[in-house]
Amino acid sequence: MRSAMMLAALAACGGGHAAATFQGTVKGQSFAPTEAISSPATAHFSVGTAGVAAIVLGDSGGLCAKVTANTEPKNGKALVVLLTDVNLATLSGNAPTGVGTYAIYDFSGGTPPVHLAYVSFGVNDASCVQDPSRSATGKSGAVTITRNSGGTYAGAFDVTFDSGDRVTGSFDTAACTGLQTFLGSATHGCG
């Protein structure tokens, strides 16, 4: 019985820690991701909602279990990547069904790209409150996905943030269906 429960928990969280790299600093901070999780999800932007491929690189252990429990990690850093295919006629977005290059868009105006990427780097304090003085939003660059399979993604990123910092890296994610629910919730616990 215990083995069955453990297998169910691993299946719900993708069963692995996947791999990610991150070169560069953001506002003077280095970042060493230990986990890479992903899921198709619905994201809420200032202009409305869209179906996305949600990818999160985090530096705290048990990231999938935490988001599945709707909990943010204390003192954690995360790179959040949201990818969507935009229908310019209806200005709606859907999660990517294939691979390709996604241009970073910060929603500050202008026509969005057909393959849109939104990227943010967030740093939480001990109360799980994001510290804006240490966090940043992507302003330019691109995210390329080279594998898109069953809610998992592999690829690379080259991002310049609103802080002027440029970072590069790669990801090979594990599926985490709890991420979809986490992104749909307006409030989260702290743990």
Number of domains the chain is built from: 1
User: Could you tell me the residue range of the domain that residue 125 belongs to?
Assistant: 2-190
Tokens representing 32 are 């060493």
**Residues 125-151: tens digit of each pLDDT:** 999 999 999 999 999 999 999 999 999
Dist CA 84 CA 99 (whole Å): 11
Please write the tens of the pLDDT for every residue from 34-86.
Answer: 999 999 999 887 777 889 999 999 998 899 999 999 999 899 999 999 999 99
Residues ≥6 apart with Cβ < 8 Å to 106: 118, 137, 138, 139, 162
pLDDT (average), residues 165-184: 95
**Measured between alpha carbons, how far is 95 from 109 in angstroms, rounded to an integer?**
22
The pLDDT-based confidence of 15 (bands split at 50, 70, 90) is very low
